[in-house]
């Protein structure tokens, strides 16, 4: 019941995000054929760019003239970053909103356990993240179709998508935990969004300079970096384990925190 209610309530924003992300993916992929034709000049252009910038976006390890490489550099950045922002906003809002808007008094007076509330709301977060990713995958396939004649490795694509979803669920779970701990969506939202943006910034910084490379351990964006996935055709098990652990911890803690919370509105 709560699931259906939250699903409907978040539908509008999901559709907007699908339209924006899907549109961007499609648009970016649809210009690939022209891009590939001018590849030679492009390669020259990339060579003329500052080394650090090329490195920051992983263009030194990926061949941007190849469709998968192009996807890894241009499209993957959008799906990972924008999707993470979406997941963070969704997770940060979904529990704290009830307290922020004082509707929790209504919900808590119903014959429900608090665990039930958490379960249904968490499911909504996960399902929405999957829905957004499904839309991005569809848009990508359309994009690949436009660029027919160029080679697409389905296995690599599946790996990249898996990594993206893991990343989104990780941010969603952390934001969700914050949402159960705090009372104001103002706070949960700004912290969650801050986390995503700082993580992304660290990822870029770690790419730029060798001295800052240690930063990569602190950002999940590094865990899902496109270049190693495309080049090695596998996800680094350690990174997958770390993300799974963060997700598990956050979700379990959400139950614990929410069960013990004094809810005063």
Partner 1 sequence: MNVVDIRQLTKMYKKNRGIEDITFSIEEGEIFGFIGPNGAGKSTTIRTLLNFIYPTSGSATIFGKDIVKDAKEIRQHVGYLPSEIHYYDDMKVIDLLTYSARFYKANEQRIKTLAERLDLDLHKKIEDLSFGNRKKVGIVQALLHEPKLLILDEPTNGLDPLMQNTFFELLFEERKKGATIFFSSHILSEVQKLCDRVAIIKEGKLVQVETVEHLTKKNLKYVTVVLEQGTQPDVHLDGVVKKEVKGNEITLLYKGDVKQLIHQLDRLPLKDVVISEPTLEDIFLHYYEK
Distance CA(87)–CA(233), nearest Å, equals: 26
Query: How many residues interact with partner 1 (rule CB under 8 A)?
Result: 19
Does residue number 45 form part of the binding site for partner 1 (CB under 8 A)?
no
Q: Which one among 5, 51, 155, 186 touches partner 1, defined by CB under 8 A?
A: 5
Does residue 186 bind partner 1 (CB under 8 A)?
no
Stretch that binds partner 1, among 22-30, 99-107, 152-160, 239-247 (CB under 8 A): 99-107
Give 66 or 99: the residue with its C-beta nearer to partner 1: 99
Closest to 179 measured CA to CA, from 246, 105, 91: 91
19 in contact with partner 1 (CB under 8 A): no
Tell me if 260 contacts partner 1 by CB under 8 A: yes
Give the DSSP per-residue string, 20-74: HHHHHHHHHHHTHHHHHHTHHHHHHHHHHS-HHHHHHTTTTTS-TTSHHHHIIII
Cβ(58)–Cβ(225) under 8 Å? Answer: yes
Report the SS3 class of residue 243.
helix
In the three-class reduction of DSSP (H, G, I as helix; E, B as strand; rest coil), residue 98 is classed as: helix
Tell me: does residue 108 bind partner 1 (CB under 8 A): yes
Counting contacts by CB under 8 A, is residue 145 touching partner 1?
no
CB–CB of 188/93 below 8 Å?
yes
Stretch that binds partner 1, among 81-89, 98-106, 119-127, 226-234 (CB under 8 A): 98-106
Closest by CA position to 79, among listed 24, 152, 154: 24
> Of the candidates 44, 51, 102, 233, which one interacts with partner 1 according to CB under 8 A?
102
256 near partner 1 (CB under 8 A)? no
**Phi, psi angle pair for 157, to nearest 5°:** -60, -45
Does 11 help bind partner 1 (rule: CB under 8 A)?
A: no
Instruction: Decide if residue 48 touches partner 1 (CB under 8 A).
Output: no
Q: Which residues bind partner 1 (CB under 8 A)?
A: 1, 5, 9, 101-103, 105-106, 108-113, 260, 262-265
């Amino acid at each position: 019941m709560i699931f259906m209610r939250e699903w409907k309530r978040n539908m509008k924003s999901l559709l907007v995000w699908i339209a924006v992300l899907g549109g961007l993916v499609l648009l970016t992929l649809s210009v690939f054929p022209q891009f590939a034709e001018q590849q030679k000049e492009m390669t020259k252009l990339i060579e003329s760019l500052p080394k650090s910038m090329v490195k920051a976006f992983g263009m030194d390890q990926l061949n941007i003239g190849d469709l998968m490489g192009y996807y890894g550099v241009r499209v993957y950045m959008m799906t990972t970053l924008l999707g993470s922002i979406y997941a963070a906003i969704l997770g940060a809002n979904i529990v704290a909103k009830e307290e922020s808007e004082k509707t929790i008094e209504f919900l808590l007076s119903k014959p429900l356990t608090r665990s039930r509330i958490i379960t249904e709301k968490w499911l909504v977060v996960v399902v929405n993240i999957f829905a957004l990713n499904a839309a991005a995958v569809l848009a990508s396939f359309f994009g690949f179709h436009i660029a027919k004649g160029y080679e697409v490795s389905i296995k690599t694509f599946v790996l990249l998508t898996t990594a993206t979803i893991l990343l989104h669920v990780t941010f969603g779970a952390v934001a969700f935990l914050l949402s159960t701990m705090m009372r104001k969506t103002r706070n949960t939202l700004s912290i969650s969004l801050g986390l995503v943006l700082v993580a992304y910034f660290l990822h870029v910084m770690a790419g730029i300079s060798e001295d800052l490379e240690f930063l990569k351990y602190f950002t999940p964006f590094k865990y899902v970096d496109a270049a190693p996935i495309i080049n090695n055709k596998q996800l680094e098990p350690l990174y997958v384990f770390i993300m799974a652990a963060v997700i598990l911890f956050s979700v379990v803690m959400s139950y614990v925190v929410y069960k013990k919370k004094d809810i005063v509105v």
